[in-house]
Structure 1
Amino acid sequence: MPNTGNSLASLAERMRAKTEQDRQELEALTRQQFNALSESLRQSSTAALRTTEAAIQEKLGKLEESIASRCQTLSWAFGKRWLQALLLSMALLMGTALGGWGVVTLITNRVLALQGEIQSLNASKAELENTVGQLEKRTWGLKLLENQDGRFIILPPKTSAHTGWTVGKQQAVKLE
């Protein structure tokens, strides 16, 4: 009988050792899979950030070109307007001396032309603001930040990120 007790104790000890070995192997495998998932998520996030950043940079480049072109046009137009104002003043003085009704017609036409140009500039401004609004809408309020700690995607207020999602065969982060 004592032999049976030793073999039961030995069997129990072997079972504990085997259980501990299995637990350690499972922990190592879980840690390895977690590390692989973490790296995959990091790569997916980096790729998404680069894609978003490239789209924003492209839109900003186009917007900058448009604004620069408008500024150049406005600069030329204001210089031209100053000269026109000077000439108009001289014409007004001459028109007053000669009778003035032709000058009034000229001024009216110039005012109408300037009003049309102001409306055109307002439409251009609205179009640029719409483009910025569409860009913000297209990025869902996400903001990009790069500092000494690295690159970050800043989520809109009251939004949380959930990992473990896939889109096609790529890892994804779901925003809620």
Structure 2
Amino acid sequence: MPNTGNSLASLAERMRSKAEQDRQELEVLTRQRFDALSESLRQSSTAALSITEAAIQDALGRLEASIASRCQTLSWAFSRRWLQALLLGLALLMGIALGGWGLLAMLQSKAAALQGEIQDLRADKAALEATVAKLSDRTWGLKLLENQEGRFIVLPPNTTPKTGWTVGKQQAVKLE
């Protein structure tokens, strides 16, 4: 009978040892899966932010080119201001001398057109600033940073990332 007690204790010890070994293997496998999921989430977040950044940069580039073109036109017009003043004076004298007010009306319409273009540029600038503000609001203060150490998503102050979330079938990081 004492031999049976020893074998039961030995069996119990082997079962405990096997259970501990299985637990450790499960823990290692779980850690590997979590690391793979974390890396996949990091890659998909980086890709999404890169696409968004490229689209923003493209839109800003087009808007900047448009504004630069209009500014160049205005710069040329205002750099010739002395010539405009001389032509306006001659036109006035000619208009008074000849009694023709048509030329004066044409110059006024040209000035009004330039003022309208200036207002359009101000509206474009305001729209661009509004777009930048909306983009900043939509990204909740997230910033993209790339340096010699790699690419990073910089979270706003007092924000904690929580992994393991999904949106639809895509992995997500919850910010708290």
What range describes the TM-score normalised by the shorter chain of this pair?
0.7 to 0.9
Determine the C-alpha separation between the residues in 1 that align with 2:33 and 2:106. 81
Post-superposition offset of 1:62: 1.7
Determine the C-alpha separation between the residues in 1 that align with 2:6 and 2:156. 66
Post-superposition offset of 1:89: 5.6
Segments of 4+ in structure 1 off by > 6 A?
A: 90-95, 104-111
Contact kept, 8 Å, 2:38 with 2:163, in 1: the verdict is no
Aligned AA for 1:27? Answer: E
Aligned AA for 2:10? Answer: S
Aligned AA for 1:142? Answer: L
Determine the C-alpha separation between the residues in 1 that align with 2:113 and 2:57. 36
Distance 1:8 1:121, change over 3 A: closer
Post-superposition offset of 1:171: 0.7
| SS of alignment partner, residue 156 of structure 1 | coil
Query: Identity across aligned pairs (percent)?
Result: 77
- Counterpart for residue 99 of structure 1: none
Determine the C-alpha separation between the residues in 1 that align with 2:75 and 2:108. 24
Provide Cα deviations, 1:117-159, integer angstroms capped at 9, x if missing partner.
5434333322232232233233333221111111112223343
Aligned AA for 1:144? Answer: L
* Map 1:1-176 → 2, pairs under 5 A: 1-88=1-88, 115-176=115-176
Segment of structure 1 superposing worse, 120-129 or 84-93: 84-93
Distance 1:18 1:114, change over 3 A: closer
Post-superposition offset of 1:173: 1.6
Distance 1:30 1:128, change over 3 A: closer
Contact kept, 8 Å, 2:164 with 2:172, in 1: the verdict is yes
Provide Cα deviations, 1:16-50, integer angstroms capped at 9, x if missing partner.
22122212221222122112212221222122222
Aligned AA for 1:134? Answer: K
List runs of 5+ in structure 1 lacking aligned partners.
96-103
Provide Cα deviations, 1:68-87, integer angstroms capped at 9, x if missing partner.
21222222222343421343
Aligned AA for 1:136? Answer: S
List runs of 5+ in structure 2 lacking aligned partners.
96-103
| SS of alignment partner, residue 157 of structure 1 | coil
Post-superposition offset of 1:94: 9.1
Contact kept, 8 Å, 1:144 with 1:151, in 2: the verdict is yes
Provide Cα deviations, 1:53-109, integer angstroms capped at 9, x if missing partner.
2222222222222222122222222234342134346667999xxxxxxxx999988
Determine the C-alpha separation between the residues in 2 that align with 1:136 and 1:24. 46
TM-score normalised per structure 2: 0.75
TM-score normalised per structure 1: 0.75
